[in-house]
């Protein structure tokens, strides 16, 4: 489905006759970009390798280009684990892909306990929208003794969204509450609001098309929790469906 959204097809990326051990470059690039920028599951590469016997590789070992980033990696604490080193490396590569550098985000002299705002924002957006590892923040905090924080406790700004959260059913679980709140924050980041997507008077069993689309795109492209749809359905009594569910319905109806 992701390939079709990008106007591509499998046959365009995989040469005819590619068999076990193959490593089609165009496919490898498409998978890496899909994971990094379009919200594909991190196991996508492994799944394709297993299914077709390919040997696609990730880009986690891609080297940085800027000298300041090379120096930064060279000076990482010796005790920093390999997983954290990889995440720091990947973040610096990500910065270069965005046309940024560490020195633009971190004021000179920032030491233990610092919390550079621009760096914190870049990491949060990288994790949320660009496929950075969830441990990136922890890796940088440990490597530089910073105190960067995530945005999991960010609350909506619009009053209608605050009211919506206040009126959620008391029995709604904490995980679902978090996902509803994160979705409302996401809407505001996109310049949208609940009332733009949900017609007034929508009640139990409703399936607002614009809301359904926003939820699906948020999960697929913007790092929203996969339980967001279920959380909204449970909280509001809606009947939003996933694209997979819709395809199943179409197949049943077409029989």
What is d(CA 212, CA 168) in angstroms, rounded to the nearest whole number? 19
pLDDT score recorded for residue 1:
75
What's the domain range around 23?
Answer: 2-52
Domain count, the chain: 3
Quick: pLDDT tens for 6-32.
Answer: 778 898 888 888 888 887 877 887 888
Prediction pTM value: 0.48
Residue 116, domain member (yes or no): yes
pLDDT score recorded for residue 250:
41
- Same domain (yes/no): 249, 209: yes
pLDDT score recorded for residue 43:
82
Residue 131, domain member (yes or no): yes
Average model confidence (pLDDT) for the chain? 86
- Same domain (yes/no): 41, 74: no
Q: Which residues of 70-108 are buried (b: 16+ CB within 10 A; e: fewer)?
A: eebeeebeeeeeeebebbbbbbbbbbeeeeebbeebbee
Choose the final residue of a domain: 144, 172, 202: 144
Alpha carbon distances (Å) from 248 to 36, 77, 219 = 28, 52, 19
- Same domain (yes/no): 39, 11: yes
Taking alpha carbons only, the member of 121, 91, 90, 88 closest to residue 105 is: 121
Residue 61, domain member (yes or no): no
Choose the final residue of a domain: 144, 173, 194: 144
Choose the final residue of a domain: 120, 144, 168: 144
Which residues in the chain land under pLDDT 50? 248-253
Torsion angle of the four alpha carbons 21, 25, 27, 32, in this order, in degrees rounded to the nearest 10: 110
Residue 249, domain member (yes or no): yes
- Same domain (yes/no): 172, 248: yes
pLDDT score recorded for residue 201:
93
């Amino acid at each position: 489905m992701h390939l079709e959204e990008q106007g591509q097809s499998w046959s365009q990326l995989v040469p005819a006759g590619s068999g076990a051990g193959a490593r089609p470059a165009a496919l490898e690039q498409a998978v890496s970009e899909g994971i990094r920028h379009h919200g594909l599951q991190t196991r996508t590469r492994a799944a394709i390798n297993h299914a077709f016997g390919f040997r696609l590789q990730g880009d986690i070992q891609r080297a940085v280009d800027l000298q300041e980033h090379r120096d930064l990696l060279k000076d990482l604490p010796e005790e920093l684990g390999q997983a954290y080193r990889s995440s720091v490396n990947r973040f610096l590569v990500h910065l270069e892909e965005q046309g940024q550098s560490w020195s633009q985000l971190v004021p000179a002299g920032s030491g233990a306990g610092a919390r550079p705002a621009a760096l914190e924002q870049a990491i949060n957006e990288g994790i949320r929208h660009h496929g950075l590892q969830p441990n990136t923040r922890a890796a940088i905090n440990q490597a530089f003794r910073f105190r960067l924080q995530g945005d999991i406790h960010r609350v909506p700004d619009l009053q209608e969204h605050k009211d919506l959260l206040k009126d959620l059913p008391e029995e709604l679980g904490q995980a679902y509450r978090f996902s509803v709140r994160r979705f409302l924050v996401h809407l505001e980041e996109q310049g949208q609001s609940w009332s733009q997507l949900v017609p007034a008077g929508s009640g139990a069993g409703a399936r607002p098309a614009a809301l359904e689309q926003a939820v699906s795109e948020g999960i697929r492209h913007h790092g929203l929790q996969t339980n967001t749809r279920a959380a909204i359905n449970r909280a509001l009594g809606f009947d939003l469906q996933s694209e997979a569910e819709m395809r199943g319905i179409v197949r049943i109806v077409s029989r």
